[in-house]
Structure 1
């Protein structure tokens, strides 16, 4: 058979799923599932928690180092990729506790999320974790790491945060990338009421 040199193209995301984000309940199930099975339960659970809470891309999570975590100040320095704006975020109590335990478990190494050799994880490893815990959590759709970033954006919009604040939180340079979260927020239509039978 002759090789024509044509590559099989991946179908659009809509072929595989109707949405590219998870609900807060689904995120919770995913994080809980990460802590139930596997050799690195604490690491995997903390990884998914931080990716959701801070809208981290997989590559950003891979490069996150311990010097970015300021336990006393309860803050974390987020270094964004893809030309996005970096910034400082607050850490919640459950995040601080998980990170503190993880730091004790990993007595050496620079990377917060490391493999067994102490090196930073790869994006492929994070994708594998997501697939595995997505199946364990019995979610109604296939999941991938970037869905946690989208889930963060939709969650912030649902909380009523102004678009400009969501833009800065996620590090978007162009506000058009942020508008999708506020535009798709169903709370905007809560004042619409339908009478029975219409």
Structure 2
């Protein structure tokens, strides 16, 4: 396996598609999508609380770690479908009265280690040729934003980076930024 540190958007679709049907299907698809769409660190994902997701206004509050800027993001329609499905069945889990958004089948919130195992398992099931881990989805978000034409400052704000130096990796490698140049 090579040392690539991000997933492509096509690989992201395969990763979400690799989640098997069953009791954890909606939870796991929801987690994968939220991690990618919002560029969440694994601890940010594990630390999401029910009150951080406002279904009526379609917003999510993200308390960024590593001294980053906390932000509110809009919830995308595709993501909202899985959030609603997850919230419908969440009450069937142990400790469903807790504030944690994502719960383990055995009670309590999912640990970082459980999330790493789940992401790796779905990466293998999807046939992705790198060992998938949660931070790859954060990088995938940054590269997808750059590929969609977002400027570096917007990506910086979106990911909650304090320093622009942590953000330029996404735009510096984006060949599409040169397409408008004619000589």
- TM-score (norm. length: structure 2): 0.91
Gaps of 5+ in 2: none
| 1:155 alignment partner in structure 2 | 144
For the pair 1:86 / 2:70, whether they are aligned, the reply is yes
Equivalence for 1:98: 82
Q: Which runs of 5+ in 1 are unaligned?
A: 1-15, 194-198
RMSD: 1.7
CA distance in 2, matches of 1:17, 1:192: 33
Q: Which residue of 1 aligns with 2:14?
A: 29
Which structure would you say has the larger RCO, counting Cα contacts within 8 Å and 6 or more residues apart? 2
**SS of equivalent to 1:72:** coil
Cα separation, partners in 2 of 1:147 and 1:157, compared to 1, 3 Å: same
Q: CA deviation at 1:190?
A: 3.9
Q: 2:48 aligns with which of 31, 56, 64?
A: 64
Q: How far did 1:17 drift?
A: 2.2
- Greater CA radius of gyration, 1 or 2? 1
User: 1:92-131 alignment to 2 at 5 Å?
Assistant: 92-107=76-91, 108=96, 109-131=98-120
- In 2, the alpha carbon distance for the partners of 1:144 and 1:74 equals 27
Q: Which residue of 1 is the match for residue 58 of structure 2?
A: 74
Separation in 1 of the partners of 2:37 and 2:162?
A: 19
List per-residue Cα deviations over 1:25-77 (Å, max 9, x = no partner). Answer: 0011001102x256511111110100000000110000100101111111000
- TM-score, L = length of structure 1: 0.84
Q: Count how many residue pairs are aligned between Structure 1 and Structure 2.
A: 177
